[in-house]
Amino acid sequence: MTTLENRSLDRGITLMEILARGGSCSLAELHAASGLPKSTIRRLLGTLIARRIVRRSLSDGRYRINITLPMSTGAPIPPGLAGLVDLSLPLALALTRRVRWPSDIHVVDGTRMQIVESTRPASPFHIYPGRVNRWLNIFGTASGTACLAAMSPEAVMEVHRLTEGDETWGLARFGLCVEAYLDILAATRARGYAIRLSAYLGETVFDDGLAAIAVPLLERGRPLGALTLIWPRPHLDHARFASEHLDALRDTAAQICAGLDRDTARTPAPAEAAPGARRGTAASPSRG
């Protein structure tokens, strides 16, 4: 390697280390932390984004790392799912342009859901902004319910076993037994879309006031995540909102699933992910 190539590699690793420590950074923050010229940072970020090592979130314009480094403090996308975000976001944006309501992209991360992107900034409606790269209760969210409804009964019971009695991440948070939740999953399959549990008000210190419908994002039948549409809860009930927008949501999810299947057409079908295979340990949310 030439000296220039070594220096470029060193600078790229420096940016990755800053992002791993900070969780997310703006261009100005990367400049302040690294001392590198902004033009150099932009060039390096372009390469890292092209290689899916780093991404720039639409929701807030900040840069985040997609891989795990020893000093990581945030919640990088689970291994192998950065491509899902790259594939999903343009289609989710098209969905928001079509129906005007924003869409969130969630992925399954072991026994939790993780929100990894959102089209809320692209919607003409004022919606509570939320935050990406954070964990959500898999049982309470519309996205988690959509994914659990698409899992095998054995996988659902394993998620319950791993979170049983946990008042943050388990069914105990909602005072539900697993038998009652299995009935909710059966109703979800019959309805064709998932909704939030009525007791789930988001992972914030106050009720975010939102409602959501969700459908799973499947790779060869395995739920990797979910696509949601969100709106202010007083605006419409779930059935009315779904009657107006479910077809568009399903169409978009079908395009994403077709893209996932194309990407893996030459590889062996993956086994269903073990529910406990979550990356890292999340901090508890600000409300239980």
pLDDT digits (tens, 9 = 90+) for 264-287: 765 554 455 556 655 444 333 333
Among the four given CATH numbers 1.10.287.70, 1.25.40.20, 1.10.600.10, 1.10.10.10, the one describing domain 3-65? 1.10.10.10
pLDDT at 280: 42
Architecture of domain 82-263: 2-Layer Sandwich (3.30)
pLDDT at 130: 65
pLDDT at 277: 56
Cβ(137)–Cβ(173) below 8 Å: yes
Percent of the chain with pLDDT over 70: 83
Least confident interval from 82-91, 142-151, 171-180: 82-91
pLDDT at 177: 95
For the segment 158-163, the average pLDDT, to the nearest whole number, is 97
| Cα dihedral across residues 105, 198, 237, 146: positive or negative | positive
pLDDT digits (tens, 9 = 90+) for 44-64: 999 998 888 888 888 788 898
pLDDT digits (tens, 9 = 90+) for 12-44: 888 888 887 777 889 999 999 888 999 999 999
Phi and psi at 236, nearest 5°, equal -150, 150
Q: Domain residue spans in the chain?
A: 3-65, 82-263
Is 44 in a helix, a strand, or coil? helix
Say which residue, 124 or 245, is predicted with more confidence.
245
**What's the predicted TM-score (pTM) here?**
0.74
Tokens of 54: 């780093």
